[in-house]
Amino acid sequence: MAVAIENLTVTDALEKLNAGIFTSVELTQAVIDAIREKDPDLCAYLSVDTDQALARAAEADQERASGGQGRLLGVPLAVKDVLNVKGQPCTCASRLLRGYTSPYDATAIARLRAEGAVFLGRTNMDEFAMGSTTENSAFKQTRNPAALDYVPGGSSGGSAAAVAGGEALAALGTDTGGSIRQPASFCGCVGLKPTYGRISRYGLTAFASSLDQIGSMTRSVRDAALLLEVMSGHDRMDSTSVDVSVPAYSEKLRDDLQGVRLGLPKEYFIEGMDPAVEQAVRAAVARCRDLGAEVVDVSLPHTDYAIATYYIIATAEASANLARFDGVRYGTRAEGATDPIDMYGKTRAAGFGDEVKRRIILGTYVLSSGYYDAYYLSAQKMRTLIRADFEKAFEECDALLTPVAPTPAYRIGEKATDPLQMYLGDVFTVTANLAGICGISVPCGATSDGLPVGLQILGPAFGEESILGVGHAFEQSLHGDD
């Protein structure tokens, strides 16, 4: 039968699968058909593993017929090309890893697989997750489903475009400085960045190890809650994975905000913000107040230092992490080298794109002798102050409401030659990564040109239950306007 997937959520798909309205093979085939139809324009995927996906879907149908109870049994998911899935490519959208096939599953993937998920293929991204537009991919330019000549955001732009553009029910992404929340806002889907340590990073190709976190792009907050339940939990393979209980998030969502106290950070409503973004976010704040929330003003006084702090720490860690890509063990190896040092240089020069090289150079500089204390050590001290700002704010409220980005999506190429302007666009998202807290982007409106705008809800460390509850109540209130 023909399966309509345009607005189908994971939750709805599971209900229909369990009711026998369609099979996993029919659902997976419908998504593959949508990719074939739409992806020549969207360019959200780097590769699609059609045979493997349909074979796994057929297994899921057999398991369901035999009484299988997997929480995601037979649901097809897309995966950002930075997470290892056994037997699939993991190029990180870089020429340097062209042809590399992963020999193992990331822990998050293994947990999804154990609950019956089907893995469709690999979504496009900024190379090694370094960028905010997906323009830094070595292979193609993903386009925004809302307007094809606009960027989808980044670095998880392919995942966001696939979900918002009808090519996936949900997708995995990663968030180092906003790389889930910002593309979710630009494309008009839900993007969840969990607390650092909530989901194991084992099997995630590292950009900045103290900032990276795996999360999801979905069509509803309930779907985000479900995927978080499945992927979360302690993992001995990741020393930064925290051993704390995992609530049944999808069962604890709320429909109103009575008794909830929400903070409005004054530093996040800045001069120069796009008026349409501010209007949409302030309307969302008013709606939360109508749902029963008490809204209070709070201050995060060190926000002005966040971009500089982030781009020192992130580039320093990138410099160390990407040193492993040298042409010796895996990936591309340059030809014609005369000795190992020459091979390293030629391989990295040919394999890395401009933005990756820029960040490696910056990171090497701030870690170098004579500059370490002035830059890297100072940034770590500022990071502590930024974290303290949030801890103090959360003494006064349950969650914070902010914009995701100062602007909606912009045209492809508009900021490609001005990296500093692109970096400044992360001002509202990098703070959550520096502080290690959780955040979610929920669609809250659109500009007059139809470009989506997201509301960012930030919560304390391991406070996902709070932000999911606020996000769900807000989302459900919008459905009443349909």
Q: pLDDT tens across 20-36, in order?
A: 999 999 999 999 999 99
Would residue 466 show up in a list of annotated catalytic residues for this protein?
no
pLDDT over 80 at 481, yes or no: no
460-464: average pLDDT:
98
Convert the pLDDT of each residue in 306-318 to its tens digit. 999 999 999 999 9
Q: Is the peptide bond before 299 cis (omega within 30 degrees of 0)?
A: no
Q: What is the pLDDT of residue 313?
A: 98
pLDDT over 70 at 256, yes or no: yes
The one catalytic residue in 155, 200, 441, 466 is 155
Report phi then psi at 86, rounded to 5: -55, 125
Please report the beta strands in 372-480, taking only residues with DSSP state E, as ranges in sequence order.
399-403, 438-446, 452-459
Q: What is the pLDDT of residue 337?
A: 87
450-457: average pLDDT:
98
Convert the pLDDT of each residue in 205-250 to its tens digit. 999 999 999 999 999 999 999 999 999 999 999 999 999 999 999 9
Percent helix, strand, coil in the chain, to 5, is: 40, 15, 45
pLDDT over 60 at 362, yes or no: yes
Residue 35: left (phi > 0), alpha (psi -120 to 50), or beta?
alpha
Would residue 346 show up in a list of annotated catalytic residues for this protein?
no
Convert the pLDDT of each residue in 77-93 to its tens digit. 999 999 999 999 999 99
Q: Which helix (H) or strand (E) holds 76?
A: strand 76-80
DSSP state of 337: -
Question: In the numeric block, which tokens belong to residue 213?
Answer: 């976190």
Q: What is the pLDDT of residue 369?
A: 85
Q: What is the pLDDT of residue 200?
A: 98
3-13: average pLDDT:
95
pLDDT over 90 at 421, yes or no: no
| Contact status, residue 399 vs residue 457, Cβ threshold 8 Å | yes
Annotated domain spans of the chain: 1-482
3-10: average pLDDT:
94
Would residue 86 show up in a list of annotated catalytic residues for this protein?
no
pLDDT over 60 at 124, yes or no: yes
Q: How far is the C-alpha of 18 from the C-alpha of 415, rounded, in Å?
A: 47
Residue 335: left (phi > 0), alpha (psi -120 to 50), or beta?
beta
Q: What is the pLDDT of residue 9?
A: 98
The three-class DSSP label of residue 44 is: coil
Q: How far is the C-alpha of 283 from the C-alpha of 299, rounded, in Å?
A: 20
Handedness of CA 166, 139, 53, 204 (dihedral sign): negative
pLDDT over 70 at 482, yes or no: no
pLDDT over 80 at 1, yes or no: no
Mean pLDDT, rounded, of the chain: 96
> Furthest-apart CA pair in the chain: how many Å?
70
Tell me the fold of 1-482: Amidase signature (AS) enzymes (3.90.1300)
pLDDT over 70 at 154, yes or no: yes
pLDDT over 80 at 380, yes or no: yes
| Contact status, residue 213 vs residue 194, Cβ threshold 8 Å | yes
For residue 400, what are the CA distances in angstroms to 175, 440, 456? 19, 11, 8
Convert the pLDDT of each residue in 268-311 to its tens digit. 998 889 999 999 999 999 999 999 999 999 999 999 999 999 99
Note the pTM of the prediction, 2 decimals: 0.97
The one catalytic residue in 94, 156, 159, 179 is 179
User: Who contacts 257 (Cβ-Cβ below 8 Å, separation ≥6)?
Assistant: 288, 291, 292, 293, 470, 473, 474
